[in-house]
A and B are shown apart, each in its own frame.
Chain A
Amino acid sequence: MIRQAFAVFSKDLASELRTRYAINALLMFVIVTLAVIMFALAGESMSPGALTGMLWVVMFFASMSGLSRSFVAEEERGTTMTLQLLATPTAVYLGKLIFNLVLVIVLNLFIIALFLLTMDQFVVNQFGLFWLVMLLGSLGIASATTIIAAIIARANTKGTLFPVLSFPVLLPLLMAGINATKIAVEDVRWDAVWPDLQLLGSYIVVITTVSFLLFDFVWKD
């Protein structure tokens, strides 16, 4: 099953690297969004806390525009049936989850790098904690959106419904993530961030478990 999952993942990665459709569109999306923010804030001085909020807004919408791709593409190319025959649902889910995870980590690294380069006021005080929160946030976003991407793809609605369905499910993650990032940026002691980290961890476990259990129903006709 692990081998099958890995095969699904490498298939997705290969087809992505061949066209670079998702990654190019997403990177451009990030650049455009940041440009809009910078034009809108030209000359304004923003507190690091407010910029943390901005960072999460960009991360949320970038994920929303890109992460439904892996399942929607299968429906568009008409390859869903083949995949249903060749791999077990669990393997498909795991493969897509790993692919989305890689995609979201690359995406968030790019966003954070651009943020640190372009926003002078965005100074991170605790880099260790900051990276940990970003990693947990990426894990959470990937695990919650993968199952919803599958629902979207099966519903044949493409993009518009994706953020609508994802937002209520992602909200605990966003709240804890924004809070923890603020703490990392503004340098409060580690124990202040502990409840948020617990919440992020348990959120990832719960949502991944539920997704694994439910994916069969979404995937099979």
Chain B
Amino acid sequence: MWWKILLFFWIAALSVIGIVTPIAGDLGSVAMFAQMDKAKTVPIKFTIVDKGRAATEEEGGGWLLRGRDVHDREADFHFAAKPDGLDGAEGYLAVARYDNENHRVEVERVSGAYPAFSFPLIPGLEERAKIIFFHVPMAWMTVIAFLVSMWYGIRYLRKKDMDDDFRSAASAGLGLLFCILGTTTGSLWAKFNWGSFWNWDPRETSIFVLLLVYGAYFALRSAVEIEEKKATLSAVYSIIAAATVPFFIFIMPRIMPGLHPGSADDSNSGPVMSSGGMDAAMRVVLYSMLAGYIVLYGWLMSIQMRVHRIKLRRAEAAA
């Protein structure tokens, strides 16, 4: 019992951490942002090096302050007026933009204290980067559930145990659920980040194919009435589908140009695919979330199995 409560808090806490943790840039990413969009302000975290001084007329007036980012790079932070209350702490989170002409950071406002735990600012993603904690584990679970379903299919063909067939079907059902959730979250996100709900990016194609495979699997199961025949045919079909699915999931998204990270034309190292490319804090949250999802999947599988056993016992008692 205790582990179910733990699992609940694990996933809930990670969801809250994933959503609430602030995004904070460094000088590099803020400068990169300025090249894309001059007027837009983004969050940046910095520590104060000196108390600052009043800026001269040529410098545009206001207040200049020396600040240092997480990578120990220093730059001038320019405030419209002398900020008050910046004396207490050493570091702050500010909303700012980089001024390429004067090579200094224009601070719009100070939004809070220096966050010890934050996610990096990724140009083009910003707050939207946080979808990775929800969408990516769902997509992984879709594939894992499919492989488990195929594994039990193979076991059924070897041992002809009806329990294996039920596990195979139950896993496919959970896989379909995760597939629908992953497709929906990804599609909604794509509308806000890429401009349309569906772009036929290679990974979108791959999740669509998995959706079709799951649909075909259940269509086949519902078409056959004899239990043993149903089990054999659906096991065979899931193995045949598994011969083509790796091509879509593992090969095509990496060799073809696309929108997802890790595509062939991905210039900024593909933060999701290569473990070195992603920020350590994000990686920890993502993998913890994935572990939570896997345990959740195992729990749902065992619930389905127990329900199935009870139904079988009732049918026996009635007969």
- Give chain A's interface residues, CB within 8 Å of chain B: 147-148, 151, 154-157, 161, 164-165, 167-169, 171-172, 195, 199, 203, 206-207, 210-211, 214, 217-218
Contacts and interface: CB of A to CB of B under 8 A. Distances in A.
A interface: dominant SS = helix
Interface in B213-242: 213, 215-216, 219-220, 223-224, 229, 232-233, 235-237, 239-241
B223 A168 contact: no
Nearest to A202: B247
B157 interface: yes
Judged by DSSP, the binding face of B is: helix
A161 B217 CA distance: 10
A155 B224 CA distance: 5
Contacts of A161: 216, 219-220, 223
Contacts of A207: 240, 243-244
Interface of B: 157, 209, 212-213, 215-216, 219-220, 223-224, 229, 232-233, 235-237, 239-241, 243-244, 247-248, 255
B233 A218 contact: yes
B236 A155 contact: no
A172 B248 contact: yes
A217 B235 contact: yes
A8 to B, nearest CB: 20
Given A161-B220, A161-B223, A169 B240 contact: yes
Contacts of B219: 161, 164-165
A157 B216 CA distance: 13
18 contacts: A147-B236, A147-B240, A148-B237, A154-B233, A155-B220, A155-B224, A155-B229, A164-B216, A165-B219, A165-B237, A167-B212, A168-B212, A169-B240, A171-B209, A195-B255, A207-B243, A210-B243, A218-B232
